Structure 1
Amino acid sequence: MPMQHRARSIPAVQHFTKTIAACAAAAVLIGTPLSLRSAQAGDVPTFAVDASWPKPLPNNWIMGQVGGITADAEGHIWVFQRPRSLTDDEKAAALDPPRTKCCVPAPPVLEFDADGNLLRSWGGPGEGYQWFGNEHGIEVSGGFVWLTGNANDDSQILKFTPDGKFVLQIGKIAPAKGSNDTTQLGRPAEVTVDKDANEVYIADGYGNRRVIVFDATTGAYKRHWGAYGKPPNDDKQAPYDPKAPVSQQFGNPVHCVKIANDGLVYVCDRTNNRIQVFKKDGSFVKEWFYEKNTLANGAVWDVVIWPDPKQTWLLSADGANNEIRVLKREDGTVAGHFGSNGRSAGQFHWVHTMAVDAKGNLYTGEVDTGKRIQKFKLTSDALR
């Protein structure tokens, strides 16, 4: 707004000051003053929280903990949430008899458009497959929806059509058989799909200590590996100690796996506070550590790859310290970060999962008592 060369009344000045303060609070910037937000080619990604997203759910529904979130090729946002995580107070209208007017649990799978409108919902037990004890990861790729769970006997992943029609189950609900078994999973956290090779990669996970790869159509086993590309083992590990030599095995959970266009595979070794990078055949390339003194549930919960042509950046969610880091994909250095512990818009409580759409908008999901999703609009010119 142009400056006016006239005196303002005190109430007007107070209103102007409050407006500027509110704008500054809403702008989630990464090392960039509010006055320097003009877009420059090659900018580090910066964001502003969209407190109006998503729109209220229909049907008196309420969302529980958010296990997973992902963006599809149309820019729609898919959420995998945990209806059973809701307290009686939160789902009081679903009790018999109802205790209050609101609310009832939403279905586990929710699809939103970029404006926050709910487009589709489904999920839960059905014929031909075994549903999860605890909903966790979601990936949408090639016209299919992949889901994982991390309850004690969730040793399977499921594949559906976008309308919720069952397609494929890999593994089954039963005790895991260990990190070198090729028939069962072990509380898998997340999947990603290599469309060119028609393979599904699994961060496996909360029970096992590996990445494992299957044929995305038939479910046939392809290969697996542990930390540093070595065979995994399930020997008891000492609790994480930042002063000890780095672990030669993945910790639990192996929480994410993502594939870049150049074939590099990024794996979140959450409790060891590191990202390990591999080739698609499991050959180890490099690793990066973050907030090495973090003891509470680890500092590397999720990674997303930036959608510019060179995939210049990685975004990494830290659910223990409740911040999101912007990393240079080339060398893993931290270019900026935002977030803090809290429940206001733009803050996080156990930020668990992330997604980024083709326009550079970021979406986050929270577990524990967070039980929400948030949208952060891109405010810099970081897509060229």
Structure 2
Amino acid sequence: MASPTHRAWSLHILATAALTLTALSLAPPSSRAADIPRFEVDASWPKPLPNNWILGQVGGITTDKDGHIWVIHRPRSLTDDEKGAALNPPRSKCCVSAPPVLEFDADGNLLRSWGGPGEGYEWVGREHGIEVDEKGFVWVGGNLDNDNAILKFTTDGKFVMQIGKIAPSKGSNDTTQLGKPAETAIDKDANEIYVADGYGNRRVIVFDATTGAYKRHWGAYGNKPNDDKQAAYDPNAPVAQQFGNPVHCVKLANDGLVYVCDRINNRVQVFKKDGSFVKEWFYEKATLGNGAVWDLAVWPDPKQTWLLTADGENNEIRVINRDDGKVVGTFGRNGRQAGQFHWIHAMAVDAKGNVYTAEVDTGKRIQKFRLVSDALK
């Protein structure tokens, strides 16, 4: 049996070790770790909507050059108990659908709203995707059966141009019609709009952002796309040589790289602007269902060091090193409390590193995550 002195010394050693571990866990992160983006949810954002309004499924979210947040949601996705005040006769005190397009400031104040059918254009059947370019034009799309067009408006909702038609698709190699496009991105220097096209087609397609004239398109690995029936995703099978449906996002970096979300195939493919394939990264390859790569945002530091990817099946956001695609952090999990996600569908980041998220299915909400690390140098 150990002596009292030996037992006392052993307890001293254990206590010292425990204090050391506690100190390590509470110590500030290294300078390198501090550069990785870290966030905390702002549970007070946005502020309550006026006019007894409520959001449906949120089909897209983006930020503009002024740091404002633009949202497109789906009024027709509201259930009767959610839109009770709009029924005839009213079922309940709450609520009425907000207009499809809404603009917020960084504090969560609603600045303006508009959208829906109007003169001179065909409004989409199910809203999907929104982008605001530096000239102050708002681009929206849809992904219902014949939503094979994108629409261009001024920031106050005045119609400017339509590319494609609300009519049947003509396939992944047609240059006049789209195929349920998911998202767009603007190359301001070249005055071009890139379309992740999308839920019907299997390509990225590029148009002139002023005239709508066709420029070029490509499929996975930069090859010509085709619409042959594909086998269901199998993580153990050879990698797909075509994009799956949907091609869910397209993003541009300042160095000319183009990032594409191949959602069902759990990968990001990287291209040059001419469609030349550069590389690809896979994430959570065992993920089935709706896939692991739903949206992507480029970090706003001078070197654009990081990428953020939204995963609507696993309901998390990954922080990725843009050079090599390696995951350096994650946040979020499945759930309906503040900071959690249920089908995180789209994501945007502003110039201050704040992240804004949009949820579909029964999520039907937007959230803000404040940057709390020094990650913008």
Q: Flag whether TM exceeds 0.5 (same fold).
A: yes
CA shift for structure 1 position 34: 7.0
Mapped partners of 1:75, 1:34: distance in 2? 34
Answering whether residue 206 of structure 2 is matched by residue 213 of structure 1, we say yes
Mapped partners of 2:107, 2:26: distance in 1? 25
Answering whether residue 272 of structure 2 is matched by residue 279 of structure 1, we say yes
Mapped partners of 1:280, 1:340: distance in 2? 34
Answering whether residue 133 of structure 2 is matched by residue 133 of structure 1, we say no
Mapped partners of 2:28, 2:49: distance in 1? 37
CA shift for structure 1 position 307: 0.1
**CA 1:38 to 1:119, structure 2 compared with 1: closer, same or farther past 3 Å?**
farther
Answering whether residue 203 of structure 2 is matched by residue 172 of structure 1, we say no
* Aligned match for 2:364, one of 342, 346, 371: 371
Cα RMSD over matched residues? Answer: 1.3
SS at match of 1:74: coil
Matches within 5 A, 1:133-212: 133-141=125-133, 142-212=135-205
User: How many residues were matched structurally?
Assistant: 353
SS at match of 2:85: helix
Show structure 1 runs of 5+ residues with no match.
1-31
1:39–1:379: 8 Å Cα contact kept in structure 2? no
Mapped partners of 2:364, 2:358: distance in 1? 7
Mapped partners of 1:38, 1:115: distance in 2? 31
**CA 1:332 to 1:33, structure 2 compared with 1: closer, same or farther past 3 Å?**
farther
SS at match of 2:147: coil
Mapped partners of 2:66, 2:281: distance in 1? 32
SS at match of 1:233: coil
1:37–1:380: 8 Å Cα contact kept in structure 2? no
SS at match of 2:264: helix
Mapped partners of 2:25, 2:83: distance in 1? 42
1:41–1:381: 8 Å Cα contact kept in structure 2? no
Which string of whole-angstrom CA distances, capped at 9 and with x for unpartnered residues, describes residues 277-313 of structure 1?
A: 0000000000000000000100000000000000000
* Aligned match for 1:243, one of 223, 229, 236: 236
Mapped partners of 2:312, 2:170: distance in 1? 29
Answering whether residue 257 of structure 2 is matched by residue 264 of structure 1, we say yes
Answering whether residue 317 of structure 2 is matched by residue 324 of structure 1, we say yes
1:41–1:382: 8 Å Cα contact kept in structure 2? no
Answering whether residue 42 of structure 2 is matched by residue 50 of structure 1, we say yes
Which string of whole-angstrom CA distances, capped at 9 and with x for unpartnered residues, describes residues 20-52 of structure 1?
A: xxxxxxxxxxxx967636987961000000000
SS at match of 1:272: coil
SS at match of 1:224: strand
Counterpart position of 1:293: 286
Query: For the pair shown, which has the larger CA radius of gyration, 1 or 2?
Result: 2
Moved more, 37-46 or 110-119: 37-46
1:139–1:192: 8 Å Cα contact kept in structure 2? yes
**CA 1:344 to 1:33, structure 2 compared with 1: closer, same or farther past 3 Å?**
farther
SS at match of 1:271: coil
Give the percent of matched residue pairs that are identical in Structure 1 and Structure 2: 80
Mapped partners of 2:34, 2:150: distance in 1? 38
Counterpart position of 1:112: 104
TM-score by length of 2: 0.92
Show structure 2 runs of 5+ residues with no match.
1-23
* Aligned match for 2:116, one of 116, 124, 138: 124
Mapped partners of 2:88, 2:29: distance in 1? 53
TM-score by length of 1: 0.90
